[in-house]
Chains A and B, each alone.
Chain A
Amino acid sequence: MSSAPAIEVEQLVREFRKGPRAVDGIDLAVAPGEIYGFLGPNGAGKSTTVLMLTTLLPPTSGRASVGGYDIVHDGAHVRASIGAALQEAALDAILTGREHLQLQATLQGMPKADRARRAQELLERVGLTEAADRRVGGYSGGMKRRLDLALALVHSPRILFLDEPTTGLDLQSRSALWAEVARLAHEEGMTVFLTTQYLEEADALADRVGIIDHGHIVAEGTPTQLKDEIGNPTVEVVPADPTAGDTLAARLTSFGTLARNGNGAVTVQLPGGESQLAEIVRTLDQAQLKVATLQLHQPSLDDVFLAKTGRKLEGAGEEADEQQR
């Protein structure tokens, strides 16, 4: 197996005419057969990165190669090497699942004799045989996502791009999709570049994670490495009086990096570890601040995000939406 990266990105930039740089000089490398999780809130630059790597959006500057081919100069080769399921499950509601696959097979240049067989094989693989001849307009969200994945696999690509593939899916559909993605990578050696805003998805699936915020990669490594880097537990305190959030934050700021959540809750990192918990309780008691809940959390990728950006991943998405408005 070649040791050259399947995906290699150097100082990739994408600027739009109106607005800040969506992608602001990112570097990353994905090894063949790896599942790379690209984690970040809404508006961080994930989808823009995917559009550039799949040749649908030219970069402003920088370079990248996918499957050994330059994304700017060898676009056709790149597209032949990849499959992509983009942010919207872009399907034609009037066609059936089988017709989608056969159309895709035709457009990918598959010989006529193989198209029907390939369509059937993929329908079986994603569990859509019963619905195969029904119009896609009647499919559930989970079924659409599965068909989307099948379409990306028609020409047996070596590299798969999945842009937020489980957004909007129920738990069962999400687990099923995770299982299939893991199988593609671990049994078939497919390289998977997966963008997500769900921590648990990156944690569960990805071999390595890159965390992106405002167009920059702020952290990169295996989930375990990233969490060990932070190493610090966090405490989430919800005041009994929702309006006491400011007072609470003022009392806790001396303990570590703070983040404010909805309903007045405050999360604080504990650089000194769990032993700081007792001190926190004493401080709150002395200040006579009544507390609704107080929870200790071990590090998560959200904590990694908090440490690197000063914001929690969940709140960061809403903030980005506000800025865009």
Chain B
Amino acid sequence: MSSSASRRPVLAAAGPLGALPAPSLLEQVGAIARRSVVRTFRQRALLVFPLVFPLILFAINGSALSAARKIPGFPDVSYRDFALAVPFLQGALFVAVTAGTDLARDIQSGFFDRLALTPLRGSALLAGQLGGAVVVACVQSLCYLLVGIASGVGIASGFGGALVLLALSILIAFGFAGLGSLLALRFGTGEAVQGFFPLLFVTVFLSSSSLPRNLIKTEWFKEVATYNPVSYLIEGIRSLIITGWDGQALALGFGFALALSVITLSFAGAAMKNRLVRT
């Protein structure tokens, strides 16, 4: 340990409340969000894999299923245009898992307890973590959109529609990040969060991700896709790409995204209260 003369503290002893006022909610959220973003950008695998994997699938499926546009009743667009909506959902799943495992790691390592000993509010911790996830979702969504356009996909709703698409995609990612946080707070381990990933992956498959719902021949599959909220999330994004401005699709897409966000955040907030046990 240093034995230098610089032992004089910068501040007098803090003692009881009053010497250091609690930081504002915004400051708290900002500090946690900054940390979340720094952590993600320093772990390149966490950034690169969620970017690359959905785009690889998009490239493969966009070509491998190009013949599907010849199915009677298929929309009059290339399959690639049809398929571009899917990476946005897959990216949202990665955001969910990253947000969840980050928080779970804090709980398992005891860093969560360290934060609990500060004036940090539970709502600020949650908002900060989600804020970080939103930044990552912005980067991902922009990449998917730009790659899609570069590969020849036309955005039927134009520049304005592209902005709405990004907004919807980010809202969806926000909702899924809430789910990841909820799982982390409820179960407290990264393994539990990652264990849910296959289930989330399945919900994307059991939707209208590969074909329009009216062209799904197998009755049980069609039924599942009809009740699966992920279908409406995908269709909302897809409508902006292949249709233009479809009010109903957008209303359902935003509606379900908002509902997902509200539900997951409510439960995550309750789980945070249980987890952040302080007297």
Residues of chain A at the chain B interface (Cβ within 8 Å): 54-58, 67-69, 71-73, 75-82, 84, 86-88, 90-92, 94-95, 99, 103-104, 106-110, 114, 117-118, 121, 124-127, 135, 146, 151, 155-158, 176-177, 179-180, 183, 187
Contacts and interface: CB of A to CB of B under 8 A. Distances in A.
A59 to B, nearest CB: 8
A118 B17 CA distance: 19
Q: Per DSSP, are chain B's interface residues mostly helix, strand or loop, or mixed?
A: loop
B6 A121 contact: yes
Given A72-B279, A91-B109, 9 more contacts: A55-B117, A69-B16, A71-B279, A77-B17, A90-B112, A104-B118, A107-B23, A121-B10, A125-B1
Contacts of B21: 109
B120 A157 contact: no
Contacts, number: 136
Interface string B1-28: 1101011011111111100111100011
7 closest Cβ contacts across the A-B interface? A90-B110, A75-B279, A107-B118, A88-B110, A106-B31, A180-B1, A109-B20
B70 interface: no
A57 B116 CA distance: 11
Interface of B: 1-2, 4, 6-7, 9-17, 20-23, 27-28, 31, 35, 38-39, 42-43, 106, 109-120, 277-279
A99 B119 contact: no
B113 A90 contact: yes
Nearest to A54: B117
Contacts of B119: 76, 79-80, 107-109
Contact of A95 (B1, B39, B117): B39
B15 A158 contact: yes
Given A56-B117, A71-B279, A107-B28, A81 B6 contact: no
A155 B20 contact: yes
14 contacts: A55-B117, A55-B279, A71-B279, A76-B119, A79-B119, A80-B119, A92-B106, A92-B109, A94-B43, A108-B118, A109-B22, A124-B4, A124-B6, A156-B14
